[in-house]
Amino acid sequence: MDWWKNCVLAQWEDSRWVRNFRMSRRTFMWLVDILKPHLFHQDTQMRHAWPVDLRVAMSLWYLANKNSFREVQEQFGVGLTTVADAVHEFCMVVEEVLVPRLVKLTDPMEQIMLGFAEIGFPQCVGAVDGCHIPIQNPADSNGEYINRKKFASIVLMAICDHRGRFYAAEAGESGKSHDAYIFNGCHFTHAIDRGAFFPATPSLVVDGVAVPPLVLGDGAFPMRKWLVTSYKPVHNARERQFNRRLSRARCTIERAFGRLKARWRCLLSPLQIKLDSVSTLVGACVVLHNICETRGHRAPELEERPPPLLTEMECQQDIVVGHEGGRGYDPRADSNLEEGKEVRDALARYMCG
């Protein structure tokens, strides 16, 4: 406790705060102020409640390092149960209070489109991908969570803007499932299909084809009018150039996942928590990532390669119909496929001449 009160709070400069808590002291205090009404505990006759700032600090320390609860206990000089309860409560409150406020489109659509246009892809409002989060394999799962790389995981499926901030994210599906199957079941997918996600924005019209605000994905995703994937196989120079520009812009989501795991290194190793708490912890990390991105707190360098991204595991191959991870999903039956191809062809003509 002396270390926290007399060293960290009293003496640490911002560089040490960012290095150890992934955010500056000012951002930390801002976070404490927002969460205080939800994390505050009353003193009892039996004991004094731990301060909110201490519980937030223990939670960030756990998330930012590949720690066990016991290591955090030793660092802060509190009980083991205190650490575990603080981390679980912090993640639940962050998910409940801050996800609706911070995991959403925060910049105007035109600004996001301009950001992607500067990368080389017009009419784009986001990039989508999936990322594997390692977990302890549940004893009663019968291999349900073992992915193609032979480790247990759940999948974080997310869309990010041009700055790498996530504005749609869902976690919890088994790592064994194909990304197309997971994507097809996401709430944000159905919301975009209904036209209820993006604000009304004039479409780009190319040769009579209306091109709506677009999200970029790799070849493993099912085509939609609003979801553009690469040409496969490539037939000419125009399609090859289109693929290069799409790949350059789509890497935004790959880099965002890299920074997410570089900041919150608990996501690099199998999480030592119950399976039903994993998606809540991942949701909290997504929120904290957006806070750090918005406030300009640089992510530390990732010293080791994180577990494979979903795109790497699929090697950007098309869905194999009937594959056990596809759960019966047949991309050839997708009613949006022809619309998606029409939009892609029109955009390729517009971009590449």
Residues 154, 71 share a domain: no
For the cut 70, the answer to whether the pLDDT of residue 314 exceeds it is: no
Residues 322, 183 share a domain: yes
254-258, 259-263, 300-304: the lowest-pLDDT one: 300-304
Residue type, 307: P
pLDDT category, 304, cuts 50, 70, 90?
very low
pLDDT at 250: 94
Best mean pLDDT range from 172-186, 229-243, 284-298:
284-298
For the cut 80, the answer to whether the pLDDT of residue 327 exceeds it is: no
For the cut 90, the answer to whether the pLDDT of residue 202 exceeds it is: no
Q: Tell me the residue range of the domain where 70 lies.
A: 2-102
The last residue of a domain, from among 70, 102, 134: 102
pLDDT category, 240, cuts 50, 70, 90?
very high
Residues 207, 75 share a domain: no
Q: Which two tokens mark 232?
A: 């496969």
pLDDT at 334: 61
Residues 307, 290 share a domain: yes
pLDDT category, 42, cuts 50, 70, 90?
low
pLDDT at 127: 96
Residues 263, 126 share a domain: yes
For the cut 60, the answer to whether the pLDDT of residue 326 exceeds it is: no
Domain count, the chain: 2
For the cut 90, the answer to whether the pLDDT of residue 101 exceeds it is: yes
Residues 190, 70 share a domain: no
Residues 271, 243 share a domain: yes
The overall average pLDDT reported for the chain is 86
Q: 3-state SS of the chain? A: CHHHHHHHHHHCCHHHHHHHHCCCHHHHHHHHHHHHHHHCCCCCCCCCCCCHHHHHHHHHHHHHCCCCHHHHHHHHCCCHHHHHHHHHHHHHHHHHHHHHHHCCCCCCHHHHHHHHHHHCCCCEEEEEEEEEEEECCCCCCCCCCECCCCCEEEEEEEEECCCCCEEEEEEEEECCCCHHHHHHHCHHHHHHHCCCCCCCCCCEEECCEEECCEEECCCCCCCCCCEECCCCCCCCHHHHHHHHHHHHHHHHHHHHHHHHHHHCHHHHCCECCCHHHHHHHHHHHHHHHHHHHHCCCCCCCCCCCCCCEHHHHHCCCCCCCCCHHHCCCCHHHCCCHHHHHHHHHHHHHHHHC
Residues 238, 153 share a domain: yes
pLDDT at 289: 97
Residues 120, 67 share a domain: no
Residues 313, 212 share a domain: yes
Residues 120, 96 share a domain: no
pLDDT tens-place string over residues 119-167: 999 999 999 999 999 998 887 777 888 888 889 999 999 999 999 999 9
Mean pLDDT in residue range 196-222: 84
Cβ–Cβ contacts within 10 Å for residue 226, how many?
22
C-alpha distances in angstroms, 100 versus 70, 165, 216, 288?
32, 14, 23, 13
Q: How far apart are CA 192 and CA 269, in angstroms?
A: 33
The last residue of a domain, from among 102, 134, 158: 102
Residues 150, 180 share a domain: yes
- pTM, two decimals, is 0.89
pLDDT at 302: 59
The last residue of a domain, from among 45, 78, 102: 102
